[in-house]
Amino acid sequence: MAVREIEPIELELDRLEHMAESGYYNPYTLFDWPDAIEPDLPWMSESLTTLAGTPMWDELTREQQIALTKYEAINFFSLNIHGIRELMSEVVMRIHERTYANVSEFLHHFIGEENEHMWFFAQFCLRYGGKLYPAQPSLQADSVEHLSPVARELVVFARILIFEEIVDHYNAYMATDESLPHIAREINRVHHQDESRHVAFGRMIFTNLLGQVAKRDPAEVPLVAEYLENYLRYSIATLYNPAAYRDAGIPDALALRRRALEHPARHAAHERILKRTRSFLTKAGVGRELVK
């Protein structure tokens, strides 16, 4: 990790640190875990499933629809667990680097909170669904080799931010969705609360590192924009897990996945999910309009 070429990061984090301290809770005692989920309730909001708004949803039986909400909830939480597990390990490696000395306090809160999120997401999946979906394979020779060290640092924190903002789109909606079982609503609500601080921090550190990238070589900014655009698309595509379709008893999972990903109603849904993030990236000067 060549962080020596990167200037120390100074951010005004007093307010976020104070909120993290005063809002601290014990995740292991916070939730009342019921023995089972009511059989006819959706596990995630129907409007947030990957087939919502398409004829593919309407063609399902009610049993398949409920099963799809169940397995897509497990997929959503599994993505969270694996995604944050990988990104958190990047943060752990940096926590006492000189570059991050001034934000180390907040990084401790971040790591602690993410560890707790992993626990309650897994608890939900294992208790009620009996499993997690496995992590998607990743390659060691990664897609950032063409970027400078500072841009790679930016990418680490950008991935965390993008990931958290996408997840938060779902959490914010499900936190108040009265059609869901109480425990599902609670998990989404508690996560949404913690993530509002993470997103605020993520945007600050993103802006700082993007400034350093642009100062070093403005020509690298479009390369970062291209990487981020690919990452946004990749993140959306991971929501469409053929294993969840299969588990819900829906045939031709891979063909269904392809049809769903191409459907105009889903394109519109993707734009809604990414709206906040895209407008942030555009304002920061690293939006998709830079991608050739």
Partner 1 sequence: MQAVREFILDRNPKLDKLDDDLDLIDSRAINSLAFVEFIFLLEELTGESIDPEELDLDDFRTLNAIGARFLKQKAAS
Where do contacts with partner 1 occur on this chain (CB under 8 A)? Answer: 134-139, 141-143, 145, 230-231, 233-234, 237-238, 242, 254-255, 257-258
Both structure tokens of 68? 């799809």
Q: Output the CA angle 95-99-103, nearest 5 degrees.
A: 55
Query: Among Fe ion, partner 1, none, what does residue 247 contact (CB within 5–8 Å per kind)?
Result: none
- Closest to Fe ion by CB, 25 or 289: 25
Both structure tokens of 283? 């304002």
Query: Among partner 1, Fe ion, none, what does residue 30 contact (CB within 5–8 Å per kind)?
Result: none
Q: Shortest gap between Cβ of 259 and partner 1 (angstroms)?
A: 12
Q: Shortest gap between Cβ of 142 and partner 1 (angstroms)?
A: 5
Query: Among Fe ion, partner 1, none, what does residue 153 contact (CB within 5–8 Å per kind)?
Result: none
- Closest to Fe ion by CB, 71 or 77: 77
- Label residue 35 exposed, middle or buried (CB < 10 Å: 0-12, 13-18, 19+): exposed
- Closest to Fe ion by CB, 162 or 221: 162
Q: Are 49 and 68 in contact (CB under 8 A)?
A: yes
Listed residue (96, 93, 102) closest to 208, CA to CA: 102
Both structure tokens of 106? 């907040």
Q: Shortest gap between Cβ of 13 and Fe ion (angstroms)?
A: 15
The Cα 211–Cα 256 span in angstroms is 42
Q: Shortest gap between Cβ of 145 and partner 1 (angstroms)?
A: 7
* DSSP 8-class letter at 130: S
Query: Among Fe ion, partner 1, none, what does residue 268 contact (CB within 5–8 Å per kind)?
Result: none
- Closest to Fe ion by CB, 106 or 245: 106
- Closest to Fe ion by CB, 72 or 195: 195
CA-based end-to-end distance of the chain = 30
The Cα 20–Cα 283 span in angstroms is 27
Q: Shortest gap between Cβ of 185 and partner 1 (angstroms)?
A: 30
Provide the Cα torsion 156, 162, 163, 168; round to 10°.
140
- Closest to partner 1 by CB, 81 or 180: 81
Judged by the rule CB under 5 A, the positions of this chain that interact with Fe ion are: 114, 117, 164, 195, 198
Give the number of other Cβ atoms within 10 Å of residue 253's Cβ. 17
Query: Alpha carbon of 290 to those of 80, 227, 285: distances in Å?
Result: 29, 11, 8
Q: Shortest gap between Cβ of 217 and Fe ion (angstroms)?
A: 30
**Is residue 99 left, alpha or beta, with left meaning phi > 0 and alpha meaning psi from -120 to 50?**
alpha
Q: Shortest gap between Cβ of 252 and partner 1 (angstroms)?
A: 10
Q: Are 137 and 78 in contact (CB under 8 A)?
A: no
Query: Among Fe ion, partner 1, none, what does residue 242 contact (CB within 5–8 Å per kind)?
Result: partner 1
- Closest to Fe ion by CB, 186 or 195: 195
Query: Among Fe ion, partner 1, none, what does residue 238 contact (CB within 5–8 Å per kind)?
Result: partner 1
Query: Among Fe ion, partner 1, none, what does residue 198 contact (CB within 5–8 Å per kind)?
Result: Fe ion
